[in-house]
Structure 1
Amino acid sequence: MLPEVDLPVRAALPELLAALRDTGTAVLVAPPGSGKTTLVPLALADQVEGRVIVAEPRRIAARAAASRMASLTGTRTGGLVGYTVRGDSRTSAETRVEVVTTGVLVQRLHRDPELPGVAAIVLDECHERHLDTDLALAFALDTRTHLRPDLMLLATSATAEAERLASVMGNGTSIVSAAGIAHPVEVVWAPPTGPVDAPYGLRVDPRLLDHVAAVIRRALTEGTGDILVFLPGAGEIGGVAGRLGGLRDVDVLSLHGRQGSSVQDDALRPGPRRRIVLATAVAESSLTVPGVRIVVDAGLARVPRTDHGRGLDALVTVRASRAAATQRAGRAGREAPGRVYRCWSERDHDRLPAFADPEIAGADLTAFVLHLACWGQTDGTGLALLDPLPAAAAQVARTTLTALGALDEAGRVTARGRAIAGVGAHPRLARALLDGAAIVGDRVAAEVVALLSADVRTSTDDLPAALRRLRDNADPAATAAWRTESRRLSGGMASHPSTGGWSGDLAAALIVGLAFPERIGRVRTAGGRVYLMTGGTAAELAQGTSLNGVEWIAIADADRQPGNAAARIRLAAPIDAETAKLAAEALYADGGEVTWTDGDVLARHRTRLGAIVLSDRPLAKPDPQLVAAALGEGLRRQGLKLLRWTPDATGVRERLAFLHHALGDPWPAVDDASLLADLGWLGPALATARNRKDLSRIDVAAALRRLLPWAQLAQLDEYAPDRIEVPSGSRIRVDYTDPAAPFLAVKVQEMFGSTQAPMLAGGRFPLALHLLSPAGRPAAVTADLESFWRNGYLSVRSELRGRYPNHPWPDNPMKAKPSGRTKPRP
């Protein structure tokens, strides 16, 4: 089967095949253009009994790889070499090499982890770190470990991060390297001459697109061959294509994942005239665009980011990594010496990140966690994942799946969860398909879900209008992809006729609402464009939209740009209040609400749909437990200052703080955080309070004493007395302001005759004495009174006797009589 094609990877095949025979696993590091995607699977097929599965991260790459291998072997696609992607398959009984997407491979592993008839798996482009690639690797390794030790597993990468791959795949995994095609690529630094704003969310400065178009025109005159241009998304491709109008004898083509397969194939075939192919990152690896001698790189990439707090997904534009820039440049040297024009400076290049972040670091993990749960490992424990799940994102995913009924309270997958996973769409969309089909019929449900899941571009934010355009075949390429996905989705369900009474637009809105119940919104001001969503976030329609003024709306796609208070609505459908309540039934609530609002307790009877208040009236007799909870929330928000801190209460708290510092448990901590963590110490007073004013009536000193067990309560005044009697007979208050250093401020004459400072905490803690002058000013500090009388008193006496001559300053203070009256009688 292996064709006589001279590609660089051929030299590494003996070592690679030997490694796979010896240990069953290997990592192949080879740059783009080396032939790893085409020659390696064919060579493996010659060595094994059974089918070789090649998993690609993108559908376009899977189809292109199968077509290329079929061409090399002189067979038709679907014969010896075939492919299977979502909604499209060309295989037969004679197929020995099947190229699939990683998502398809994950689904097959779920259906039958033993993969009968499969001898080897090649996971291509592992360096791209897509979620499905990480899952496919982990599941395949688990299958190999526990079910199929004979299954060969090869991971390929175009970058040098092979050590991590090999370590995850297990001891003995060999790393084999193959050279690339040695055609030199000249780097031309072509930064903009004027200011260009950095990318912001999905926005790319139009001045950068002007510059990219100018660089393309320059490249046309400075070199020969086709030009491959890297841009972040389909919008920028359209923008640059428009700026290239008027070029003669040149074909301008586009290449991105949302196109129909025939349009993509056109870009991958050489044409009669010189071509400019405007492409997204799909052309970085696994694809060969023939005839390319020049690459123009805008230096940007588009990656998924999820706002987990608001439940909003978005694609954001970022600077491409140095690794991506190297791969893109290599496209110019696949067939001959080439040139790359980089639309940034060499200095900026050194500041780029070395590698792109893995998708697991910022993407929505709902589907990922459901796949793990179906495999039996919801948190990924025991699986060979390249990165652990980010804790916050994984928790949000588990919460969402539990709400969908896909996981039980223990985090185990349910029968409903397996049905949702089997749909082959995002769990939210799968839930909408399964539940919505029983209400509006399977055809409508499948059509709406297909629109949301099949990468179909829409020219409007009005979802029903976009659906009508697809049904009318207004855009043949988009319609073809949509119809294929609709058939796939509806084909996997039992037939459900509509329950009747549903208009097409309202049925579409219901499906959207079932998928995203927290994105149902009601307009804030009649006739306005800003909506409050049930999830609590504001969302805004674009100017001039046909949806403007609709009271209720079901939002299918929205993103929030950094710094903006409101999300931007990209695709939505009008919905009425009753349908909104049906779609977001779990968010509907009707009853008393007691909250801490504007500095006091607010008790209302409210009907809500999530954050949207449908009706609101005063609540005459609120539940005391709800009132207590609201008061507790007020204390946590505004602090203990809401209580009335009398001198007695402050004194008890300071004494307790000293004993906790000096003795620890069981003496309680009484700092703000500890007291607010559990408000049970406020006792019945909090349970009977109705508002903020009642908080100020609570006896805080008595409440603090309730923190103490009976034995400690009896010892409080002994271990930390409020006042201490000094030798003069005066009872002086102890200052406990600093729990680490309480002290007693007393005049020198009142301590005459004493050689021992008072002790606290049951004799464990000497009390510091701040000895004062007759006028009450500090004179000395000591905790060792006898040592002070012997050593420090003389200097204090000499300093104060001249200032206060009418007061007693005995030569021997240890024998002198103490006096509260520091001035002698006349």
Structure 2
Amino acid sequence: MIRTAALDALPVREAVPALVSALDGHGTAVLCAPPGTGKTTLVPLVLAGLVGGGPRRRVVVAEPRRIAARAAARRMAWLLGEQAGGAVGFTVRGERVAGPDTVVEVVTTGVLLQRLQRDQELAGVDVVVLDECHERHLDADTVAAFLLDVRETLRPELRLVAASATTDSAGWARVLGGAPVVEAAGVSYPVETVWAPPARPVRPPHGMRVDPAQLTHVASVVRRALAERDGDVLCFLPGVGEIARVAGQLGGVDAEVLQIHGRAPAAVQDAVLSVADHRRVILSTAVAESSLTVPGVRVVVDSGLAREPRVDHARGLGALATVRASRAAGRQRSGRAGREAPGTVYRCWAEAEDGRLAAFPSPEIRIADLAQFALQAACWGDPDAAGLALLDPPPAGAMAAAREVLVAVGAVSPAGGVTARGQRMARLGLHPRLARALLDGSAALGARTAAEVVALLSEEPPREYGDDLAAARRRARAGGDAYAARWRAEARRLERAASPAGRTAETGAGAASSASPACEARGPGRSPGSGAAPDDSAAGLIAALAFPERVAKARGEGAFLMASGTAAEVGDGSGLRQAAWLAVAVADRPPHSASARVRLGAVIDEDTARSAAAHLLTAGEEVRWEDGDLVARAAERLGAIELAVRPLRTPDPALVRAALLDGLRAEGLGLLRWSPDALTLRARLGFLHRTLGGAWPDVADDRALLERADDWLEPELSRARRRADLGRIDAGQALNRLLPWAAGEAVRLDELAPERLEVPSGSRIRLDYSAEHGQPVLAVKLQELFGLAETPKVAGVPVLVHLLSPAGRPAAVTADLASFWQGGYRAVRAELRGRYPKHPWPEDPATAEPTRHTNARLRR
């Protein structure tokens, strides 16, 4: 029996006519409705014609999370007076509760994505509702783009609704082709905000790490909320680990402490979503931000933290990172306190910080690993995703890295087209790396063994399972906890998918699809195995197949080098410390650490590493500049890992020359022999280049000279074999090759930039051209310039005269001798004549005889 009173009480009912009208007129719409208005439950029932008397339509509702999909389906079924599986059903990975009479089906976005790849027309579906699209999950963005493509090319009658409480409505309306925006004004109960920052500063989150002091503060705020307010308390934390730590600090509170997250057992999820007759504290990840109504909640404690995916393409590491939650997420969270009655939100940060938070969460397409997205786009027939209507385009660098992965696992051809193997991998519902491990691992080990290990990698086991993948598999087999139950279900699903029957079924589905033409599959070339290998070797092979660039060789106890070039370490007390080789399945990099920390790995041998990462194997001559000299050897490598090395007696001369140039670039041209004459020549040429330019070469910059190594360092460089040979090259003689001989200017070198300049005393004084941007310097004793009225010039540039005392110490500097004789000389004469009485100090230097001698020598 339909619960009419409950349906009538849902505020979104007032916006339903406008939504129906928008869909009738445009075919797409954006629905903005505050939390608790019924957009997730009433709207699909109305669009399906199950309530309200409209025409009967088949409606698919896509939710970002499994827990939300189950809860929404059960709530709609309850409103109809039924159980889930009748008119309303749901499908999530590994679980389907639906039947032939199901009209409204709630699915996860991942499930809908798989259906679209199998049947692009989405036959039999009339309306798709994309719920909670503000969360900007990659699957949701991809589904929206694919559905818009279907509407444009195959089924213009397919209706599409983007629904959320807090979203970029203008952006979604634009993506949906100018769709109307329908807003529902919900009956929102007032929510009081209490700012509750820590009393003392806490360290900001970094990577996965959250300052323990922050979690202690959150626990204290929960206790405060229990004391100050009535009703259940819903506390938002970034992850499962933080939930467990805060739960440990809430011992003794007068309330039941429940933990809800994507891994929580179904019984716990049901308990959280049910009405209770006692007080509760619900510790939750972001799963409770939207789509779920937790009855009895009057208080929200918001830690202000969230988790987002991050990818370190340079190190080949992907992980979640703890970040500050956006203002939109904060509004969603606080709204949980006012869904049933007036409530309170305790925010564990200062009010002044709130305005500096990001407006919306970062779209996954900007920050996540895009390998799975790129494979989906390739299967759709748009490898570059250039033709997809996306709210944000995928970053070019991340797409390039994704294509490299897909080519390496045989999912796409080098040209970007999807292969038959890639089509099958896309339908497994796994990351392409894990799909490769399942397919190739099944051929080597058997489908059951491969499926069990891949199931461990698709949902990382709890930390208490340890860091040894093989041991974690044994524990999951024997375990009776919630994780073990999910693992067994997923392993069965993957075993079916990897079996010959599953392969046949999927091939048939692929043949009916309109995806791009298939290319040749590229498998590992191993024959199928009939039985499982021992746990350790099986776990290692699967992990190595999934992450070949993370196979790692020991280089000290507990220290490893991965094929990607990243150092890795295992924790103290780990059973993996003594391994010679590891396959690293999960790793992250702690703050300020150059090494990754192994979270989950398996022992392998060298043969397994070579087999799994065969595309990284290289062998050949290596001639390079290393540790200050040339090193020549024949080496076999697995990525960055050195497997075998022997010295080379006769290395390739071209490689030697290139390595010596690398050495010169790294350490500078000081490796050559620079005599004083060579340094002077370089300075003279540098002066002429700055002054006259033209044919005179740039020799001041090492990089400029090295770019012209062929012009001036040959043939000496080609004859060199080691660092010592570079030290024998006369740099001055080599530089002469750069003089503008062809232009006829080289013969004017001594005229334009003479090495020495004759002064009135008859002395030939060396000019200093080393001033990088200045004039040539003439450092000469003052008495030797008596009678010289004008400043000497070089290439039209007045020299800078450093006038020296008889002892050779600086007395004055001038670029205008005439002015100096008229003014500055008197002060110099007054200061020095008493100190050097034996030297001439005439009153009129313009008419005095220049000399380098004393008065006594002059009298003789």
TM-score, normalised via structure 1 length: 0.85
**Which of 571, 574, 579 is the aligned partner of 1:542?**
571
SS of residue matched to 1:480 = helix
Q: In the alignment, what sits opposite 1:241?
A: 247
| Distance apart, 1:302 and its partner CA | 2.3
**Which of 639, 646, 664 is the aligned partner of 2:675?**
646
Instruction: Note if contact 2:787-2:846 (Cα within 8 Å) is conserved in structure 1.
Output: no
Q: In the alignment, what sits opposite 2:815?
A: 781
Instruction: Note if contact 1:779-1:796 (Cα within 8 Å) is conserved in structure 2.
Output: no
After TM superposition, the structure 1 = structure 2 runs for residues 387-786 of structure 1, keeping only pairs within 5 Å, are: 387-454=392-459, 456-457=461-462, 459-472=465-478, 474-495=479-500, 497-498=528-529, 502-525=533-556, 528-654=557-683, 657-658=686-687, 661=690, 669-670=698-699, 671-676=701-706, 679-681=709-711, 682-701=713-732, 703-704=734-735, 711-712=742-743, 717=748, 721-723=753-755, 736-737=769-770, 741-743=774-776, 745=778, 760=795, 766-770=796-800, 780-781=814-815
Check if 1:27 corresponds to 2:30: yes
- Give the number of equivalent residue pairs: 806
Q: Is the alpha carbon distance of 1:759 and 1:205 closer, same or farther for their aligned partners in structure 2, counting shifts above 3 Å?
A: closer
Q: In the alignment, what sits opposite 1:785?
A: none
SS of residue matched to 1:492 = helix
Q: Given residue 16 of structure 2, which amino acid in structure 1 is its aligned partner?
A: L
Q: Given residue 672 of structure 1, which amino acid in structure 2 is its aligned partner?
A: D
Higher mean Cα deviation, 44-53 or 588-597?
A: 44-53
State the distance in 1 between where 2:850 and 2:594 align.
71
Instruction: Note if contact 1:732-1:744 (Cα within 8 Å) is conserved in structure 2.
Output: no
Check if 1:119 corresponds to 2:163: no
| Distance apart, 1:351 and its partner CA | 5.0
Q: Is the alpha carbon distance of 1:771 and 1:580 closer, same or farther for their aligned partners in structure 2, counting shifts above 3 Å?
A: closer
Q: Is the alpha carbon distance of 1:720 and 1:562 closer, same or farther for their aligned partners in structure 2, counting shifts above 3 Å?
A: farther
SS of residue matched to 1:310 = coil
State the distance in 2 between where 1:665 and 1:117 align.
77
Higher mean Cα deviation, 93-102 or 556-565?
A: 93-102
Q: In the alignment, what sits opposite 2:61?
A: 54
State the distance in 2 between where 1:69 and 1:510 align.
45
SS of residue matched to 2:8 = coil
Q: Is the alpha carbon distance of 1:583 and 1:805 closer, same or farther for their aligned partners in structure 2, counting shifts above 3 Å?
A: same
Check if 1:155 corresponds to 2:189: no
Q: Is the alpha carbon distance of 1:121 and 1:500 closer, same or farther for their aligned partners in structure 2, counting shifts above 3 Å?
A: closer
Segments of structure 2 that go 5 or more residues without pairing to the other structure are: 501-526, 834-839
Instruction: Note if contact 1:456-1:481 (Cα within 8 Å) is conserved in structure 2.
Output: no
State the distance in 1 between where 2:443 and 2:404 align.
25
Q: After superposition, what is the alpha-carbon deviation per residue over 1:354-409, rounded to whole angstroms, capped at 9, x for unaligned?
A: 43333344332332333344445555434433334445444433333333333444
Q: In the alignment, what sits opposite 1:44?
A: 47
Instruction: Note if contact 1:750-1:820 (Cα within 8 Å) is conserved in structure 2.
Output: no
State the distance in 2 between where 1:779 and 1:186 align.
77
State the distance in 1 between where 2:471 and 2:561 align.
23
| Distance apart, 1:691 and its partner CA | 1.3
Q: In the alignment, what sits opposite 2:80?
A: 73
Q: After superposition, what is the alpha-carbon deviation per residue over 1:334-361, rounded to whole angstroms, capped at 9, x for unaligned?
A: 1112222333444454554443333344
State the distance in 1 between where 2:34 and 2:841 align.
97
Q: In the alignment, what sits opposite 1:763?
A: none
Instruction: Note if contact 1:773-1:800 (Cα within 8 Å) is conserved in structure 2.
Output: no
| Distance apart, 1:285 and its partner CA | 0.9
| Distance apart, 1:512 and its partner CA | 0.4
| Distance apart, 1:541 and its partner CA | 2.5
Check if 1:6 corresponds to 2:9: yes
Q: Is the alpha carbon distance of 1:132 and 1:672 closer, same or farther for their aligned partners in structure 2, counting shifts above 3 Å?
A: farther
SS of residue matched to 2:407 = helix
Q: After superposition, what is the alpha-carbon deviation per residue over 1:13-51, rounded to whole angstroms, capped at 9, x for unaligned?
A: 233333333333333322221222222333333478854
State the distance in 2 between where 1:158 and 1:652 align.
75
Instruction: Note if contact 1:379-1:389 (Cα within 8 Å) is conserved in structure 2.
Output: no
Q: After superposition, what is the alpha-carbon deviation per residue over 1:60-89, rounded to whole angstroms, capped at 9, x for unaligned?
A: 212222222232234443443333322233
| Distance apart, 1:246 and its partner CA | 4.8
Instruction: Note if contact 1:808-1:822 (Cα within 8 Å) is conserved in structure 2.
Output: no
Higher mean Cα deviation, 719-728 or 151-160?
A: 719-728
Q: Given residue 409 of structure 2, which amino acid in structure 1 is its aligned partner?
A: L
TM-score, normalised via structure 2 length: 0.82
State the distance in 1 between where 2:225 and 2:813 align.
87
Higher mean Cα deviation, 4-13 or 651-660?
A: 651-660
Q: Is the alpha carbon distance of 1:342 and 1:689 closer, same or farther for their aligned partners in structure 2, counting shifts above 3 Å?
A: same
Fraction of identical pairs, as percent: 53
Check if 1:280 corresponds to 2:314: no
Q: Given residue 34 of structure 1, which amino acid in structure 2 is its aligned partner?
A: T
State the distance in 2 between where 1:168 and 1:822 align.
93
State the distance in 2 between where 1:660 and 1:143 align.
65
**Which of 375, 390, 393 is the aligned partner of 1:370?**
375
Q: Is the alpha carbon distance of 1:675 and 1:484 closer, same or farther for their aligned partners in structure 2, counting shifts above 3 Å?
A: farther
Q: After superposition, what is the alpha-carbon deviation per residue over 1:463-487, rounded to whole angstroms, capped at 9, x for unaligned?
A: 1122122223x13522332233223
Segments of structure 1 that go 5 or more residues without pairing to the other structure are: 761-765, 783-787
| Distance apart, 1:329 and its partner CA | 1.5
SS of residue matched to 1:711 = coil
After TM superposition, the structure 1 = structure 2 runs for residues 80-229 of structure 1, keeping only pairs within 5 Å, are: 80-159=87-166, 161-170=168-177, 172-193=178-199, 196-229=202-235
